[in-house]
Chain A
Amino acid sequence: MKRPSGPFLLLGLLLILPLMLRDAYYQHLMILVLMWVAIGSGWNLISGYTGQVLFGAAAFFGFGAYTAALLSSKLGVSAWWGLPLGGILSVAIAFPFGWICFRLRGPYFALATLALNEIFRHVATIWESLTDGMIGILVMQTFISKLPYYYVALAIAILSIVTVDVVMRSRWGYYFVSIREDQDAAESMGIDTLYYKMLSLCISAFLIGIAGALYTNYMGFIDPKVVFSLHEISIMAILVGIVGGVGTIYGPLVGAFIMVAVQEIFRTGGFGILHFIGQSTGWPFMSGVIKYVSEAHVLSFGILVIVVILFLPNGIVGDWSLIRKFLIKSKKPAV
């Protein structure tokens, strides 16, 4: 990543990828990956760089998603307006929320985001006159082809990575990391820690809110259970953040790729391998195994968090030199 040509090569690859990868299923997965790059980048800014763990990313994701959906269902405006508006309204939530929660240090912020997540989920479920509750909201999709969605998602992913990169090179970035490393030191260096924590959270909420609005436009349907989901969104966001590498610019990209793949492996039972084994061997218990595997992904997510924290505390990007050393070492005896 040190060579400046790296990002451009990557960008070029991502630009032509859907033209080579014509299978709609893989295009769908790539769109999800790009959406998760935005969410992961947002999470990474407030949690990885600023050190304030965001447990309830779904609060902002779902808020962005509902903004887009309600624009269309209630106001008859194109749900695409949800992209900017979902981001801006998420900031409008993040601002007072941060103002209240960041006065306290320690785990209060993390827990409060979890609470916000749950409050929003309940409100979206109960306020049926607005949201249709559990029934959810259907939004007419604009395109049949996946390509336009792919490029919109790519633009959002690029926006996220560039935003985080630019911010982290600026004074704000220095302040965020200072706050993460030691709040007392930061305060005595003249840094208004409350203000800069709020600023970091607002940028995060903006990126995550946009990703939520993208989800509505792309999937064409949302309900509270999905977009405010604790494990599908909030915990997944943490995983995307830490698997790739906490506090690294490209960590969320790597994390998004791996986590969408992992999620998909579980959802499909190893891309159908288990099905295949079950069918070809005729073992009756395989259908049970398949069912458990596809439902065990919440558990496996937890295990993955532990494994990553134990062996790669800085994630795949952050510990890349460690991984390389390990690979080279383990190759040598074979030679």
Chain B
Amino acid sequence: MAFFEVQGIVKFFGGLAAVNGVSFEVKEGEICGLIGPNGSGKTTIFNLINGYFPLTKGEIQFQDEKISELKTHQICQRGVGRTFQVVKPLKRMTVLDNVIASAFLRHHPRSDAIKLAEETIEFCGLTHYKDKIAKSLPIASRKRLEITRALATQPKLILLDETAAGLNPHELEEAITLIKKIRDSGITIIIVEHIMKVIMTISDHIVAINHGMVIAKGTPAGVVSNPEVIKAYFGEDYRA
């Protein structure tokens, strides 16, 4: 059985099928890129994996357990961390306190939680902002805080939703470095990203979706040259 597997998941919002029969699997230790045009259902897939929305149909397996019946916090406890595309910092808490709250999941005496939080902040390069109130951070650092907080729950699988959107080229390089560092630390990653440069350089394997359905799967080079994918991204008239 796969490390992580999504089987025919469906999500309806009223009459709209935001996700319509998506299946894919992810092997332990790899980076899986999830791509697709705006509104194709990527964030919804994350919200389904994470238990934020109940599934209309289908099943999600993680490490031989059906996690699609668990609550969000239980899924996190099983080892699935996530970031939000629209960042959700704990605004009136400091960066350190944000991360400590996360670190408490697996580290009980407060001193242990603080230690892990500080290490994670260091790992993600946020040390400079440690004592700042979260709402005062610039957007690039808020995105980084999302990652830091997810990492402090010590996940085995992390879902990154457009954590590189809106970053300048320098910040983008840093983001790529960080994502690779996360992979090298042994954490499996599913990443949603619009910037092709990011997706192409770091993904081991890519799942492309459109209108809530999988249109291509495979290696980065294979998926990007797939005519369906080109059509979805650039429209019918595009000729390469």
Contact = CB atoms under 8 A, between A and B. Distances in A.
B93 A177 contact: yes
Contact of B101 (A169, A177, A187): A177
Tier of interface size on chain A = 10 to 19
A132 interface: no
Contacts of B91: 181-182
Interface string B74-91: 101100011010001111
Contact of B90 (A170, A185, A192): A185
A169 B100 CA distance: 12
Contacts of A191: 73, 101, 105
B68 interface: no
A313 to B, nearest CB: 12
A185 B93 CA distance: 13
Contacts of A184: 52, 84, 88
Which of A182, A187, A188, A192 is most buried by chain B, counting CB atoms within 10 A of its CB?
A188
Contacts of A266: none
Nearest to A247: B92
Interface in A167-199: 169-171, 174-175, 177-178, 181-182, 184-193
Contacts of B104: 171, 174-175
A177 B92 CA distance: 9
- Per DSSP, chain A at the interface is helix
Contacts of B97: 174, 177
Contacts of A175: 101, 104
Given A181-B92, A185-B84, A174 B73 contact: no
A182 B88 CA distance: 7
Contact of B76 (A171, A174, A177, A190): A190
A190 B88 contact: no
B73 A192 contact: yes
B20 interface: no
B206 to A, nearest CB: 24
Given A184-B52, A185-B88, A189-B153, A170 B110 contact: yes
30 contacts: A169-B110, A171-B110, A171-B113, A174-B101, A175-B101, A178-B90, A181-B89, A181-B90, A181-B92, A182-B88, A182-B91, A184-B52, A184-B84, A185-B90, A185-B149, A187-B71, A187-B73, A188-B50, A188-B72, A188-B76, A188-B82, A188-B84, A189-B102, A189-B105, A190-B77, A190-B102, A190-B105, A190-B153, A192-B73, A193-B73
Given A181-B91, A188-B81, 16 more contacts: A177-B93, A178-B90, A178-B101, A181-B89, A182-B88, A182-B89, A182-B91, A184-B52, A184-B88, A187-B73, A188-B52, A189-B101, A189-B102, A190-B77, A191-B105, A192-B74
6 closest A-B pairs (Cβ-Cβ)? A190-B76, A181-B90, A187-B72, A185-B88, A190-B105, A174-B101
Interface of B: 50, 52, 71-74, 76-77, 81-82, 84, 88-93, 97, 100-102, 104-105, 108, 110, 113, 149-150, 153
